[in-house]
Each structure stands twice: as structure tokens, then as C-alpha cells.
Amino acid sequence: MTGVTRRTARMADGRELIYFDDAGSTLPAERRLDERRLDPRPATATMRQDVLTGDWISVASGRNNRVFLPPAHLDPLAPQTPENPSEIPDLYDVVVFENKSPSFGPDTDGPLAPAGRGFDRTSPSVGRCEVVCFSPESTGSLGTQSVTRIRTVIEAWADRTRELSALPGVAQVFPFENRGEAIGVTLGHPHGQIYAYPFVTPRTRSTLDAIRELGPDLFARILEREQAGPRVVLAGEHWTAFVPFAARWPIELHLLPHRQVPDIDALDEAERAELAVVFKRLLQGVDALYDTPTPYIAAWHQAPVREGRDEVRLMLQLTSPRRGADRLKFLAGSEAAMGAWVADIVPEDAAARLREAVAQG
């Protein structure tokens, strides 16, 4: 893993915890044990199917008890101290662990959500939800980390994509970062999450439908058209970032690799190295748009585990509701109820602003 060291451990309640040490890290090989006394883990929740859409809804009521905006001295993602019995027993560079209040899991051995649709259908919410801490510091985001640290995070994403994809009850793996209270973030610590679903998500189902309608080379054609157009924000040897033709959000960026790869684990060394640089520049550029940090969702769309591996291309979708220095786009009647979007900003204008901001950042 290009100098990144992987070390595994267990939390006091049996949850898996994995340290990913930076290349050249000075952290010791041995880490303290988690000696807290914790309650037993919650049982796996149950999903219900919406008969009108076919969507599966995980009813995970235990999530209502999760930590909400704790004071800095009780940061649950900081390394443990005598005063702060946090989730992480010792110092770290990057660490991944099973979420205490998961939407999916902790059972991972199936069954997958059944196909089709019907009335009153239920299925176990099997799968896994993991937390990815980008830094032991209590403030910041992925974009405030060094290129070396972002490279470590990429290795953690690749490792977890590979491991989670091998679980029998997992159909798709989704790494993402929510940033900012306007997005609904309840912890200010720089971190992201990984969801391993027991079904293929509705967004990806729609993508598979588009591939069946328009051809298996759909992503190659999208990339070719965007590279020749006015919405490119940043281009490298292996990656191109652009504002999509039909952008929904005031800020929306797509980042595609130039090669067909289904997920982060399939990236080669050169692609991973350039991604760390390009991703940091994009995140810095989004923050350079205004005088204060911009809330966003950075979502990695990956191919499902068992279908579309040769057609669905890995893609980062970065979106923000921020439509001005002190204005947000809210999903009201048309978007929330009907799924019919109205864009506030012309995509070509958004691309021009983002190009300038990325150049400044």
C-alpha cells in the first residue's frame, strides 16, 4: 500500500477497528487496548419496502441515541484520554471502525434484499456502517489534510471497499464525507463514513438502466463530451473534474478517472497518487468560493459488487446546497415531493466560478 501500514484491533464491545498509518509515520506499532465497559451492540434493524417505488428503507431507531454536537473536550473521535473515553483507544493517522449506531448491520451474512416489489415486505438491514477518521485533530475536513494524509485515506477506502465487497450480505459499498452542520453533520471532527448496503441503491439502479438504454460505453462518452466542452474545472493525466450538463445543486462537481474502473480498489498506483492531489485541489477550490468553509457531500459512486462491473465507472460526486455566501438551497415541494429539480445556477457559469476558485486554492 505504498508505505501505508495497516494494523487491526478490536473495540471493547467487539467492533472491528483498523489503523492506517501514513507512509513514514512515527507512530508505534503497538496501540493501547480499548478498556471501556460498553453496552452490548444493538440488534440489526429491519428494512421495509416502499411498494410504490421499490425502495428499501432501513428503520434503524437506535440511531436516535447517537452523539449530537458534543463539546470539543468530549470529542468521541479523538484519541482516548483519562478525561475523554472516546471511541479510539490510541493515537492514529487514519482509523476506520464499525459505527456504534449503524443503519445497516452489524449482521453481514445475508440475506440480500429480495428482488421485485410487493406489499408489507421486510428484510434484515444486514451490511455494515463504518466511520473513517481523517485526522486525530478535532477540527477540519478531508480538504484540510496534507496530500500524504489524503493518500492514506484513499488506501483506507480501497481496503474497505475490497473487504466489505467480500461480505455475503453486501451488494454495494459507498464511501462518503458529509461536511458542515448545514448538511446535518453532528460531529465536527474530520471524518467520513462507509455504508455497505444489502441492495443496489436507487441511484445506481438508474445508472444501470441508462447503460442498458444508451450502451456499455456510456461513461466513456460522457467523459469525452465533457472534456471537449466548457464545464471542465480541473484535468490531469488520469482524472477530469467537471460540472455536469444537468447539474442539480448550486455547487456540483463530478470527477471521473480516464480509465474504466468499477471502484476505488481497482485504481492503480498512478491513479491513486494523482487523485490525492486533484481531490485536495477541488476541495480547497470549493472552500475558496466564499470567506467561510462550504458545506458539502463528497460521494463516491462505485459499481455494485455483483453486476455492471465492466460498465459502471467509479465517480466522485461533490455537491453543496450553498447558492451564495449566506444562502442555501432547500429541497422544498418540487424536489422533495416529486423529484423534479429546478437549478438555481447555469452549469457553465458554475464551472467558470469553480475553475477560478480552484486556481486560487
Instruction: Report domain extents, the chain.
Output: 5-199, 204-360
pLDDT digits (tens, 9 = 90+) for 73-100: 899 999 999 999 999 999 999 999 999 9
Predicted confidence (pLDDT) per residue in 34-62, tens digit:
999 999 998 999 999 999 999 999 999 87
| pLDDT greater than 90 at residue 9 | yes
Residues 193-205 have a mean pLDDT of: 98
pLDDT of residue 102: 95
Reply yes or no on whether the pLDDT at 200 is more than 80. Answer: yes
Compute the chain's Rg from CA coordinates: 20
Q: pLDDT band at 360, cuts 50/70/90?
A: confident
Active site annotation includes 189? no
Q: Is the CATH code 3.40.50.300 the one for domain 5-199? A: no
pLDDT at 172: 98
pLDDT, residue 1, reads: 57
Peptide bond into 42 cis (omega under 30): no
Which of the residues 189, 191, 238, 254 is marked catalytic? 191
Query: Looking at residue 61, what is its pLDDT?
Result: 82
22, 99 Cβ separation under 8 angstroms: no
CATH 1.20.1070.10 applies to domain 204-360 = no
Hey, CA dihedral for 341, 346, 348, 350, is it positive or negative? negative
Q: Quick one: 346 exposed, middle or buried, by C-beta within 10 A (0-12, 13-18, 19+)?
A: exposed
| pLDDT at 64 (0 to 100) | 64
**Average model confidence (pLDDT) across the chain:** 95
Q: And the C-alpha cell for 76?
A: 468521541
Report field, pTM of the whole predicted structure over 0.75: yes
Of residues 234, 238, 222, 89, the one with CA closest to residue 154 = 238
What's the one-letter identity of residue 305? V
At residue 250, does pLDDT exceed 60? yes
